[in-house]
């Protein structure tokens, strides 16, 4: 008669253990599905019949017509309706990198992740169809930002802007080349013809970026600044482009290029303080080091510098590291000074998972000094803590992803989400007509599922208000690296 008691006791213990585990875990699969769905809400152009966020409709169907080209498609950047190509291309590069590393783990979401990439690359192909010219933006930011309008009935100027051989813009051209090259790897087996098209274009665009060097500040600064000014210059973008072209082609010339160019820039970089630890749409040095490390962790050659810098990057993040450069809130969220803080948490965490993987493969442990080591699993723990924070493991127990969990932002700073859909309000809403909805104390009318907002302040506080755009606006480059991260943690639950 003892047996059932033992059985029950074991069963009860199991329940307790499981409950603890379940409580500290999130439904990464659900979050992954939603993080990709967000990109459908940001689509510009003619929507396909497969569109799942059906409150969005066709928009901006004449983009490019001022320059006699078709620039329809692509993504609206954030809560506004401008297409800024530098952050957009960086977003695509991250989506592609996530699919390259973790696509196999995505299950049924993979096909949607590939659609999200392709929606971006189809647009980037249009932007680069004329040799020696790269379109860099559609929409006039001041006109756009002065109105609170649905993309579907925008009447603000939709001017298109480009860089070319006379007025170069190396940042946007090199990042566009990186996005096309990275995406060519994603489509290599699923659509070889498309993959070849992307790669051939990437090669040409990189050549343009490298041959005609100059900051896009100096050619189209009046429209990209101060929104997406290049603060950091274009050297990192060139290295990044070359590294992705090497990944996609294995051509020695890109390897050689990275090495030569690295020697040329490294002394200057060493004067730039913590630049090696940056990874975002403007500065992407840490991404270069991690990506290049993949190819040289087996060896033995002068690229050692890249691995050393990737190690420095990792040690700049680890909370216990003596060379830590990043701040953490007391709730455990990474903080960097530039707005929309969650872009840093997702991008840096994505890099940590990738670098963890490369190091695990190479059997390496990073030495951060003072006896602190960064093992591959420690890097994953840090990345996971950020994902968990975003999904609700934080002092406010708030999910920062719209539609995920029971408590998430209701009044995000996003025009389309806050204004009634064409379905319920077919009449045009003009520039100022939106103010009523902007000022409303009510939740947004349309759920922009999967949108991750800028996030809380450094005291872990969050004010759910459309006025507070630094914290309540979603951006494509917050979600870009998050998609791969969620795919990874969906399979790697126990870090």
Ligand X SMILES: *[C@@H]1O[C@H](CO)[C@@H](O)[C@H](O)[C@H]1NC(C)=O
Residues of this chain that interact with ligand X (CB under 6 A) are 215, 217, 225, 229-231, 233, 235, 252-253, 256, 260, 264-265, 268, 295, 298-301, 463, 465, 467-468
CB of 92: closest distance to ligand X in angstroms?
A: 22
Q: What end-to-end distance do the CA atoms of the chain give, in Å?
A: 40
Locate all alpha helices (DSSP H) within 128-191, ordered by sequence. Answer: 141-145, 170-186
Catalytic status, residue 413: yes
Q: Which of 153, 433, 464, 468 is catalytic?
A: 464
Catalytic status, residue 80: yes
Own/partner contacts of 60-65, CB < 8 Å, gap of 24 or more, are: 60/138, 60/151, 60/154, 60/158, 62/158, 63/138, 63/158, 63/160, 64/126, 64/135, 64/138, 64/160
* Shorter beta-carbon distance to ligand X: residue 221 or 420: 221
* Shorter beta-carbon distance to ligand X: residue 25 or 217: 217
CB of 214: closest distance to ligand X in angstroms?
A: 9
Q: Which strands, in side-by-side order, build the sheet including 133-138?
A: 83-84, 133-138, 160-164
* Shorter beta-carbon distance to ligand X: residue 301 or 442: 301
CB of 261: closest distance to ligand X in angstroms?
A: 8
For 471, the token pair is 């914290």
Catalytic status, residue 101: no
CB of 280: closest distance to ligand X in angstroms?
A: 15
Own/partner contacts of 227-230, CB < 8 Å, gap of 24 or more, are: 227/82, 227/84, 227/141, 228/84, 228/86, 228/87, 228/281, 228/282, 229/282, 230/86, 230/171, 230/282
CB of 159: closest distance to ligand X in angstroms?
A: 20
Q: Which of 77, 80, 171, 175 is catalytic?
A: 80
Greatest CA span in the chain, whole angstroms? 90
Catalytic status, residue 23: no
CB of 495: closest distance to ligand X in angstroms?
A: 26
* Shorter beta-carbon distance to ligand X: residue 39 or 254: 254
Query: Do the beta carbons of residue 38 and residue 450 sit within 8 Å?
Result: yes
* Shorter beta-carbon distance to ligand X: residue 235 or 444: 235
28-41 helix and 476-491 helix, angle to the nearest 10 degrees: 150
Nearest to 77 by CA among 32, 48, 120: 120
For 326, the token pair is 């990043």
Q: How far apart are CA 463 and CA 287, in angstroms?
A: 32
* Shorter beta-carbon distance to ligand X: residue 69 or 225: 225
Q: Which of 236, 282, 311, 473 is catalytic?
A: 473
Q: How far apart are CA 402 and CA 406, in angstroms?
A: 10
Q: How far apart are CA 289 and CA 236, in angstroms?
A: 10
Q: Which of 112, 413, 414, 471 is catalytic?
A: 413
Which residues are designated catalytic? 80, 413, 464, 473
């Amino acid at each position: 008669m003892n047996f059932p008691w033992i059985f029950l006791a074991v069963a009860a213990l199991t329940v307790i253990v499981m409950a603890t585990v379940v409580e500290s875990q999130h439904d990464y699969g659900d979050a992954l599905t939603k993080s990709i769905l967000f990109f459908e809400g940001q689509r510009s152009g003619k929507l396909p019949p497969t569109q799942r966020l059906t409150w969005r409709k066709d928009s901006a169907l004449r983009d490019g017509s001022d320059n006699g080209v078709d620039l329809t498609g692509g993504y609206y950047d954030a809560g506004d309706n401008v297409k800024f190509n530098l952050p957009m291309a960086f977003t695509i590069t991250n989506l592609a990198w996530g699919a390259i590393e973790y696509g196999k783990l995505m299950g049924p979401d993979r096909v949607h992740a590939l659609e999200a990439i392709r929606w971006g690359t189809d647009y980037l192909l249009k932007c680069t169809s004329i040799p020696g010219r790269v379109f860099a933006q559609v929409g006039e930011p001041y006109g756009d930002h002065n109105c609170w309008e649905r993309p579907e009935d925008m009447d603000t100027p939709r001017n298109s802007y480009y860089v070319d051989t006379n007025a170069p813009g190396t940042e946007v051209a090199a990042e566009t080349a990186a996005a096309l090259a990275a995406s060519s790897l994603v489509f290599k087996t699923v659509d070889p013809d498309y993959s070849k098209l992307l790669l051939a274009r990437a090669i040409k665009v990189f050549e343009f970026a490298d041959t005609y060097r100059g900051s896009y500040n100096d050619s189209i600064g009046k429209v990209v600044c101060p929104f997406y000014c290049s603060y950091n210059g274009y050297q990192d973008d060139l290295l990044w482009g070359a590294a992705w072209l090497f990944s996609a082609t294995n051509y020695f010339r890109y390897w050689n290029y990275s090495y030569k160019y690295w020697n040329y820039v490294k002394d200057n970089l060493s004067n730039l303080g913590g630049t090696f630890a940056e990874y975002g749409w403007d500065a992407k040095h840490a991404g270069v080091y991690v990506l290049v490390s993949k190819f040289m962790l087996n060896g033995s050659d002068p690229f050692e510098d890249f691995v050393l810098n990737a190690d420095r990057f990792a040690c700049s993040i680890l909370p216990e590291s003596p060379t830590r450069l990043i701040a953490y809130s007391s709730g455990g969220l990474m903080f960097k000074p530039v707005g929309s803080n969650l872009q840093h948490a997702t991008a840096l965490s994505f890099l940590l998972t990738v670098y963890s993987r490369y190091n695990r493969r190479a059997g390496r442990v990073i030495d951060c000094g003072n006896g602190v080591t960064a093992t591959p699993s420690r890097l994953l723990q840090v990345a996971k803590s950020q994902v968990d924070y975003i999904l609700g493991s934080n002092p406010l127990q708030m999910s920062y992803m719209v539609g995920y969990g029971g408590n998430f932002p209701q009044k995000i700073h996003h025009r389309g989400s806050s204004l009634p859909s064409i379905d319920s309000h077919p009449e045009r809403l003009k520039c100022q007509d939106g103010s009523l909805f902007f000022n409303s104390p009510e939740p947004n009318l349309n759920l922009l599922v999967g949108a991750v907002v800028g996030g809380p302040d450094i005291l872990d506080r969050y004010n759910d208000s459309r006025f507070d755009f630094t914290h309540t606006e979603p951006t494509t480059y917050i979600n870009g690296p998050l998609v791969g991260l969620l795919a990874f943690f969906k399979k790697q639950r126990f870090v």
